[in-house]
C-alpha cells in the first residue's frame, strides 16, 4: 500500500479516532501514517454490532412475552453470548442457560443477581427490568 492509497473514509465506527498504518511513500520507504478509517472495516464492525442488536431485539421480544428472562436481553445488549457470559461470570454454561428462563431467573439469590449485574456492568434493578 502506498501512502497516497491509505484510506481516509471517516469511519463512523471509529468515532473520530485515527489509527496508524504502515505504507510505502514515493521513495519506496516505509512510514507510519494516521488514517480516519477504511470503509471495509466500518462494514465488518457494523455487521458485528448489528448482529448483537438483532439478538438483543429478539430476546427483548421473548422477555416481554414471558418466554425468556431479562438476562438474555441484557447479555446480548452487553455484547456477550452464552459461552462468553458464563466465562466472564465464572459459571457453567448449563447454569447460565437455566437463568435465561424466566422461572429460574426469578428465584436467583441476591448474590447471584449481583454477580450478573457486576459482570454486565449494570445495576441489579436494570438487570431485573427491561428497557421501556
**Interface stretch with another protein, choices 60-68, 72-80, 98-106, 122-130 (CB under 8 A):** 72-80
Rounded CA separation 91/50 (Å): 27
- Asked if 47 is part of the footprint of another protein (rule: CB under 8 A), the reply reads yes
- Asked if 121 is part of the footprint of another protein (rule: CB under 8 A), the reply reads yes
Question: How many CB atoms are closer than 10 A to CB 76?
Answer: 21
Q: Which of 8, 10, 22, 25 binds another protein (CB under 8 A)?
A: 22
Cell numbers at 60, concatenated: 427483548
CB 100 within 8 A of CB 72: yes
- Asked if 79 is part of the footprint of another protein (rule: CB under 8 A), the reply reads yes
Q: How far is CA 23 from CA 11, 102, 125, in A?
A: 19, 54, 50
CB 6 within 8 A of CB 35: yes
- Asked if 13 is part of the footprint of another protein (rule: CB under 8 A), the reply reads yes
- Asked if 122 is part of the footprint of another protein (rule: CB under 8 A), the reply reads no
- Asked if 32 is part of the footprint of another protein (rule: CB under 8 A), the reply reads yes
DSSP 12: G
Residues binding another protein (CB under 8 A): 1, 12-24, 28-30, 32, 34, 38-41, 43-49, 51, 78-81, 83-84, 87-90, 121
Amino acid at each position: 500500500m502506498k501512502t497516497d492509497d491509505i484510506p481516509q473514509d471517516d469511519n463512523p465506527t471509529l468515532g473520530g479516532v485515527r489509527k496508524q498504518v504502515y505504507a510505502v511513500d514515493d521513495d519506496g520507504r516505509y512510514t507510519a501514517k494516521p488514517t480516519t478509517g477504511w470503509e471495509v472495516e466500518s462494514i465488518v464492525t457494523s455487521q458485528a454490532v448489528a448482529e448483537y442488536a438483532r439478538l438483543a431485539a429478539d430476546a427483548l421480544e421473548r422477555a416481554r412475552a414471558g418466554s425468556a428472562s431479562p438476562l438474555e436481553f441484557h447479555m446480548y445488549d452487553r455484547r456477550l453470548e452464552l459461552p462468553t457470559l458464563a466465562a466472564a461470570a465464572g459459571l457453567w454454561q448449563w447454569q447460565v442457560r437455566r437463568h435465561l428462563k424466566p422461572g429460574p431467573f426469578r428465584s436467583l439469590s441476591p448474590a447471584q443477581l449481583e454477580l450478573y449485574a457486576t459482570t454486565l456492568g449494570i445495576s441489579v434493578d436494570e438487570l431485573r427490568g427491561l428497557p421501556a
